[in-house]
Structure 1
C-alpha cells in the first residue's frame, strides 16, 4: 500500500505526496469584497513551502450573500481572479498543487440580511435567521452561480476544484431529508441540485481536471441520515461526475444529544473506507489525523487514498515535512531549510 510520501495521480492531477491541507476558513478578508489578500497569500504559500502535496483553499463562495460571514472569500467576480492566480502560482512554485472549495452557505450565511435555503428551516429556533426558501427558478440560478465560480477558478489556474456538500451548507441543505421539505423536482429528488451543480461545473473544467466533492457521510441531528444514505449520496455524486470524495460528517446543526460526533483521532476513517468501497473512487479521509503515524496508517491500510490534515496545519505550516521525517526519514525539499533537518 502507498506511503504518505508516495505520489498520487488522477487524470491530469499529480501530487508529490498523499498529504492534503483540508479547507479551513480564515475569516480574514478586510474589504468585505471576498478577495484574498496578503494574509491568504502568506498562509497558503507557507504550507506549500512546508511540503503539503495538495492545498485546498478555504470555502470560497459563489455570491456575496452566500458567505458564512462578510470576511469570507468569494469568487463571484472576474476582478477577483488575479488575487487567486497569484497565490496559486506561488504555491505551485514550491511543488504543491492547489484546489479551491466552491460553496454557498445557504441558511448558515450569518451576515446575509435574508439567508436562503432549500426550505425555511433555521439552524436553531433561536439565535439564527429563518432562511427564505429558494424558488425553483432561483435554484436553477444557483447552479449557474456555481458554474461561473468554477470557470473563474479554472482561469485562476487551480489544479482541481472541490464542491462543498458537507457541514450543512447549501448543497447539503438540499440532499438532507431533514432540511429539504420541498415539493418541486428538487424536493422529489433531493440529490438533484447537487448532481446539477456537479454537471454544470464539469462543463467549464478541463476534461483532465478531477472534481472533488466533500460531503457529510452521516448527520447527528434528530432524524438525521445514517451512513447507508451517505453511501447513496456518494454513488449518485460519482455518477454525476465527482472524481474524488472528501469524507466528513455532521455540521448540519448542533447535535441532538443522543447522536454525537466522535472526539478521538481517526473517528471518521471508517466512514471514508466505507465510501471508498461503495463508490469505487479515491477518497480523502479527514478528522483529527494530527499524528503522522495515524495519517500514514490511514493511507497504508487502504482506508483512504489521501490524508486530510486540518487544525494541525494551522498550528504548524511545516506539518508535512515534519511528518515525512518522522515516519519515513525524509528531509525537506527546500534547500534553504535543509540544514534544519538531520541527515539520513
Structure 2
C-alpha cells in the first residue's frame, strides 16, 4: 500500500486515504448563504473522484462573516437543511464530509472574483459593515471595519460554537476552523493587523487568545468524537509578521485546546507580501510544525503530481495533502493518482464498465 492510500484516523473518524479537497469558495450561494445544486455537484464529484476528506468552502458562522454576499453560511436551521443532502451524498461515496467554519473579518463584504466590480460591496448592493481587531480596512477599496469590543468578541466565539453544533446536525463528520489568509482569527494573531492594547492584543498570548477561545468552544460544541482541524497561515512572509516559529508554539496550544490536525497554509495579512510560489512551496511549513510541535499536519499549495503527494506523506512532511486547483481541473485525480502509485482504488459500481 502506498503512503497516500493509507487510512488516517482522527478521533472516531477514519479518512479512507490521505488526499483532501482543499476549501475553495465557489461564490454560488443563494439567498442568505444557502448552498445550492452547484455545491452538491461540485463537492459530490470530488467524493466520487476518490478524495478521502471533502472540505467545503469557507462557510460563515454569521451573515457579516461572509467574504462576499454569495458565500455559504451555517448559522440557522435552514442552513442545516440545505447542507444535509450534500453531506449525505459525500458520505455515500465513502468520503468524509467536513465543513470549514469561517469569519472573514475585515475582508468581508467584498465582490466575488468574477463580478464586474471590485473592492467592498456597498449596503445598497447587499453589503454590510465588516468587523475586525481595529478600524483600518485591509486595502483602501475595502469597507472600513468596526473594531470588535468584548461583547462582539464573545458573540464571535459563541457563533463558531453554534455553527459547530449545526455542522454535526447537518451531517458533517469533521470541522475545520479557518484561522488563516487574513480573515478574522488570523487578523487577531498576526502582529501586522492587530494593534490592540487590551487582552486580545499586544503580547503573543493576547493576539492568539481569540483563536484559542474559538477552538476550545468548537471542541466543546462537537464533543470528543468529532475531529477538529485548524487552518493557519504559518507565516506572513513579511518582516515583523507572524513566523514559522510562532506557528510551532501556536500548534502546541491549538492541540491543547482540542485541535487534531493543523492545516498549514500561509499569507493573507499583507497585500504586498512576497510569497515564493512554486511546487509544494508550503510543505516545509507543514513539516516544521509536524516535527517541532509533534502534531498531525496537512500540506497544501501547488501539489499536483501523484509522486509529489506520495513523497510528502511518506517522508513525514505531512499526514494529509490538500489539493485545490488540481482537483478543480480533475475531480478524479485521487483515483488516478492511487492507481499510478500501484494501489487499487475502488471505483463506484456505476463506473466499473470503464475499468
- Please report the TM-score for the alignment, with normalisation by the length of structure 2: 0.91
Verify: 1:300 aligned to 2:299, yes or no: no
| Structure 1: runs of 5+ lacking an equivalent | none
- Cα distance in 1, alignment partners of residues 258 and 248 from structure 2: 16
Verify: 1:116 aligned to 2:131, yes or no: yes
- Cα distance in 1, alignment partners of residues 301 and 226 from structure 2: 26
- Cα distance in 1, alignment partners of residues 79 and 128 from structure 2: 23
Verify: 1:234 aligned to 2:251, yes or no: yes
- Cα distance in 1, alignment partners of residues 75 and 208 from structure 2: 24
| Structure 2: runs of 5+ lacking an equivalent | 111-120, 122-126
What secondary structure sits across from 2:192 in the alignment?
A: coil
Verify: 1:279 aligned to 2:293, yes or no: yes
Task: Give, in angstroms, the shift of residue 222 of structure 1.
Answer: 5.0
1:268–1:286: 8 Å Cα contact kept in structure 2?
Answer: yes
**Aligned residue number for residue 25 of structure 1:** 25
Verify: 1:315 aligned to 2:324, yes or no: no
1:332–1:338: 8 Å Cα contact kept in structure 2?
Answer: no
- Cα distance in 2, alignment partners of residues 119 and 228 from structure 1: 25
Equivalent residues, number: 336
Verify: 1:137 aligned to 2:151, yes or no: yes
- Cα distance in 2, alignment partners of residues 105 and 199 from structure 1: 19
1:251-262 maps to which residues of 2 (within 5 A)? 251-256=268-273, 260-262=274-276
What secondary structure sits across from 2:207 in the alignment?
A: coil
RMSD, matched Cα: 1.4
Residues 148 and 331 from structure 1, CA distance in 2 versus in 1: closer, same or farther, beyond 3 angstroms?
closer
**Aligned residue number for residue 114 of structure 2:** none
1:221–1:254: 8 Å Cα contact kept in structure 2?
Answer: no
1:1-344 maps to which residues of 2 (within 5 A)? 3-31=3-31, 33-109=32-108, 110=110, 111=121, 112-124=127-139, 126-188=140-202, 189-256=206-273, 260-341=274-355
User: Mean alpha-carbon deviation: is it higher for 325-334 or for 288-297?
Assistant: 325-334
- Cα distance in 2, alignment partners of residues 339 and 331 from structure 1: 15
Task: Give, in angstroms, the shift of residue 70 of structure 1.
Answer: 0.4
- Cα distance in 2, alignment partners of residues 147 and 162 from structure 1: 12
1:235–1:278: 8 Å Cα contact kept in structure 2?
Answer: no
- Cα distance in 2, alignment partners of residues 323 and 338 from structure 1: 17
Task: Output one character per residue of 1:17-59: Cα deviation in whole Å (capped at 9) or x when no partner.
Answer: 110111000001132x111111100111111111110001110
1:191–1:236: 8 Å Cα contact kept in structure 2?
Answer: no
Task: Give, in angstroms, the shift of residue 277 of structure 1.
Answer: 1.3
- Cα distance in 2, alignment partners of residues 243 and 181 from structure 1: 30
- Please report the TM-score for the alignment, with normalisation by the length of structure 1: 0.94
